[in-house]
Amino acid sequence: MQLSTHYPQKRAFVTGAASGFGLALCKALARDGWALGLADINDQGLADAASQIEALGGRPLSFILDVSDAEAFQRAAASFIEQAGGVDVVINNAGIGVGGLLEETSLDDWNATISINLMGVVHGCLAFVPPLKRAGSGHVINVASIAAVAAGPYMAAYNTAKAGVLGLSETLYSECKDAGVRVSVVMPSFFKTNIATTSRGNEAARLMTEVLIRRATYSADEVAAYTLAEAARGTLHIIYPRIAKRIWHWKRLLPGHYFRTMLKQARNTARFVERVKKDG
């Protein structure tokens, strides 16, 4: 793995590591013998993940962590650095899904989405960027989504949080580069994962997310492999698969056409939601 060439001590801290994309990233690194700080709020899932990582040749260090808790994140970061002898790669991946119209999304759902999907990344950066800068080396990989730029309907809270992750990552890219620290932001479209199981919002929005994930043709393992390869190249915007890249360029080159298409999508989504509500 090219990332191991850049960081031969092979020490990474990953949030949301118990399942889905986070676990796929950890498994890819474990196959190359990395020491891995596995952070997740799911204690049983974390134990299962640690067993898988060890079986693949990785060295797991587990942390039960709520990423919305800044002080807990600082403690976990300090503990991992002490146990692993430092840190080379930090992957801020933990997140939840949420869907629904703006006015149908409760403040509780807004607060949960921002505190986990955005502030969880902020807390990870605050905990790890200073020691990475002091070491003069390392890589921060923040997981956003193509939703950060797509701004699709019925996803206001999720889109807003992921757009914040994009803005934070682009800012850090400039702030960290001269200190020897690389920054990447990952923006995939839907791929096969279990995010629907942690989705908030109404039932129609959850079902819509499940449909989109079922239709996805890419696995978490494929996205993880692409992400780590691009990170090794120092890529800032890691966008995958092809449909996500098309959205990235389409909105910038043809914004009028793009938003007319989004309006059609909003109307189609509204009809889907009404059918779900009618069917109970």
CA distance 145 to 119: 15
3-state secondary structure of 12: strand
DSSP classification of residue 214 = H
Residue 158 a catalytic site member? yes
* Token pair for 179: 């200190």
* Token pair for 32: 């190359």
CA distance 104 to 126: 33
Residue in 6, 8, 61, 14 with CA at minimum distance from that of residue 33: 8
Residue in 177, 122, 189 with CA at minimum distance from that of residue 149: 189
Compute the Cα dihedral for 99, 104, 110, 111 and give only its sign. Answer: negative
**Structure-token match 């509204």, residue found:** 270
DSSP classification of residue 57 = T
Q: Which of 7, 154, 158, 218 is catalytic?
A: 158
Buried b (16+ CB within 10 A) or exposed e, 11-31: bbbbbbbbbbbbbbbbbbbbe
3-state secondary structure of 191: coil
CA distance 39 to 22: 9
3-state secondary structure of 90: strand
Q: What residues are annotated to the active site?
A: 158
